[in-house]
Amino acid sequence: MLMRTDPFREMDRIVQQLSGTSGTWSKPSVMPMDAYREGDEYVIAFDLPGVDTEALDIDVERNMLTVKAERRPVAKADSVKVELSERPLGVFSRQVVLADTLDTERIQADYDAGVLTLRIPITERAKPRKVSIGSGSGRREISR
């Protein structure tokens, strides 16, 4: 139902994680995701802990789904001395090519407990159906 567009993206994510660099608008970090089919829907879940819903941006152009998010630093008082800061900040982005069998007009998005979940219905034409075969002796149905 989807195609990976950049085979080196996972390597970039690992290098960014090891080097401690955060994503920028010109070179965003990758966000982890799961994708699976559940009944008549295709589900894509993105891990975005600590991201405010106002900092999420979801776009679909033709069959290209783009999700962008920004995790900003938490405002700290002048008296706060940071001892350790490991949580990545910055811009995160992911692009996914969606199959023609998905209804991109009816995508539903929910954000709960740091997980952005997109549910994309599978189009009617992609669902299994019976096909009638005509012959000289009558009609017969074959299911696929």
Could you report the per-residue pLDDT of 67-92, keeping only the tens digit for each? 999 988 777 888 888 887 777 788 88
Q: pLDDT-based confidence at 16, cuts 50/70/90?
A: low
pLDDT at 1: 56
Q: Give Cβ neighbours of residue 43 (< 8 Å, ≥ 6 apart).
A: 34, 35, 36, 37, 117, 118, 119, 120
pLDDT at 72: 82
pTM of the model: 0.68
